[in-house]
Structures are given as structure tokens and as C-alpha cells.
Amino acid sequence: MKIFYSKTKEEAGKKAAGSFAAVLKSKPDAVLGLATGSSPEPMYLSLAEMYNAGEVSFAKARSVNLDEYVGLSADHDQSYAYFMRKHLFDKVDIDLANTNLPNGLATDYAAECARYDALFDSFGGTDLQILGIGLNGHIGFNEPADEFTKGTNAVKLTESTVKANSRFFASESDVPTMAFSMGIGQIMRAKKIILLANGKAKADILETALFGKVTPSVPASILQFAADVEVYADEDALSVIIEKHGKDAVIY
Ligand code: F6R
């Protein structure tokens, strides 16, 4: 695992975009596992800038997003489908027909999970998986549990996650309480993983996940077993790692 230090989230996003673009350059039809939320926003911005400068193309890429809220249509401005169009898909040359997210309006949860699993398998897994980390250590919406999830699942979001996500909604009661999420088993099939984290609030959980016990009660801890993980984080998110493990724990 390589942990890259950046002073700011913008710098972290730029570095991560460089690594992301390198994957697309070496494999233009790469399968991209994408994430939403605040963490990848600066990286998507840098990727859009690189696309405008002719430095990267998504023309042949295929994407599978990690998750989607249950109950929100793709047109809802807080759906992850909407987020992806706003922050990446509408800004680059990706073919929308090659982009995939769970269908938030699906009412037969088991059928939707099976559909997404079959799609994932037809791609043979991802070449690159982008991740953020929840305050409780979740990746995708795989919340702390007794065991690691394997495939796509319909998850009941924890109170902490609903609270954290309420910043995007008019009130906490508007936040969906369920989501479809790729499983940890699927995340771990990625050939390469980029984990993004910014801000003081992520400092403790980032240290616990990357240096603590590997346990489903901290889902992101499984990343310690992944073959190729790059972490791009700002100074604040890395503060506890540097305090406990020294400056050599990170790459400047
Ligand atoms: C989003 C996702 C979540 C977020 C996590 C951190 O697709 O899968 O696991 O990455 O909740 O969210 P932010 O980046 O908003 O702090």
C-alpha cells in the first residue's frame, strides 16, 4: 500500500487523477469502478481538466459505480447517477451507454442485486476502483458488520451514515435509509484501488483502517490485503497516521 501525502485536497485530487489517467492510457477500455461523495470531487475536476487539455480520453472506458440510494431516480439531484453526470460523465467523452449504476428505483432488491452482480461478472471485475471512506470505516455502503459482504447488497444505512449524508439534503428525514452497494468481495477484485480521504474528521478512521486489525467491523481494513492500493489524502486526513507512525509512513 502506498500512502501519498498532499497539503490540500486539490493537490491530492490532482495526484490521484494522474494515477487514474495512467490506467486509461495503458488500457483505454478499462473498467472503472467509481465512487461519489466529497472525497473524489477534486479528482474528477482534475480529470475533466486533463480531458479538456487532451491528456486523457474516456471514449472506450466502461464504468460501474459502487452504489446508489434506494428510492431515488437517476434524475433526483441527490442520486449518485446525477452526481456522476454532474461531476464527470457530462464533462468528458465517456459514452453514457457504457456507464452503470444500481437502479435506485428497483423495488425487487434481490433481482436488482443479481442484475448488478451479473453485469460486474460480465466485465470480469474492475481495472481500477475508486473509494472514499465513511466515518465508520465503510467502503461503498458496506457498513460495519460481522462479516465481509461478497456481492451487491441492499443495505440499511447506519445512523452515522444517514447523519453524515444529511448535509446534502434539506433535512435528515429526506435522506434515504437504504442503498444498493457493491460488496467488499467485488471491491477487492479490482486490479488497482485508489482510496481518497480529506479533512480532520477522517484522520482517526483512516489510521484505524490502514494500520489496525483487519475486521468487518472496520470494512475498509480489508484494503490491507489488496494487492495494489494507493491512498491520496490531505494533510488533515493523514494527521493521525503521521502522529502515530511517523513521517516515513507516507510518501511526500
Ligand atoms: C460513495 C461511497 C461512500 C463514500 C463515503 C465517504 O459512492 O461509496 O462510501 O465514499 O461515505 O463519503 P465522502 O467522500 O462524502 O466523505
Give residue-wise pLDDT tens across range 66-93: 999 999 999 999 999 999 999 999 999 9
User: In angstroms, how far is the first alpha carbon of the chain from the final one?
Assistant: 14
CA atoms within 13 A on the CB side of 167: 6
Each residue's pLDDT tens digit, 105-143: 999 999 999 999 999 999 999 999 999 999 999 999 999
Classify residue 108: in a domain, yes or no. yes
- Write down the pLDDT at residue 107: 96
Task: Judge whether 87 counts as a catalytic residue.
Answer: no
Classify residue 245: in a domain, yes or no. no
Task: Judge whether 136 counts as a catalytic residue.
Answer: yes
Classify residue 18: in a domain, yes or no. yes
In this prediction the pTM is: 0.97
Classify residue 53: in a domain, yes or no. yes
Residue of the CA atom closest to atom 1 of ligand 1: 36
- Write down the pLDDT at residue 59: 98
Each residue's pLDDT tens digit, 12-26: 999 999 999 999 999
Which helix (DSSP H) or strand (DSSP E) does residue 112 occupy? helix 109-123
Enclosing domain of residue 178: 10-190+211-228
Task: Judge whether 41 counts as a catalytic residue.
Answer: no
Q: Determine the distance separating the centroid of ligand 1 and the alpha carbon of 66, expressed in angstroms.
A: 10
Q: In what order do the strands lie in the sheet with 153-156?
A: 67-69, 178-181, 153-156
Classify residue 71: in a domain, yes or no. yes
Classify residue 197: in a domain, yes or no. no
Q: How far is CA 183 from CA 4, 161, 190, in A?
A: 26, 17, 12
Classify residue 3: in a domain, yes or no. no
Each residue's pLDDT tens digit, 24-76: 999 999 999 999 999 999 999 999 999 999 999 999 999 999 999 999 999 99
| Cα–Cα dist 209/227, whole Å | 16
Q: Determine the distance separating the centroid of ligand 1 and the alpha carbon of 22, expressed in angstroms.
A: 23
Q: Determine the distance separating the centroid of ligand 1 and the alpha carbon of 161, expressed in angstroms.
A: 9
The phi, psi pair for 57, rounded to 5°, reads -130, 140
Q: How far is CA 217 from CA 111, 130, 144, 159, in A?
A: 27, 21, 4, 15
Query: Looking at residue 34, which CATH number applies to its domain?
Result: 3.40.50.1360
CA atoms within 13 A on the CB side of 137: 23
Each residue's pLDDT tens digit, 174-185: 999 999 999 999
- Write down the pLDDT at residue 216: 98
- Write down the pLDDT at residue 21: 98
Question: How many domains in the chain?
Answer: 1
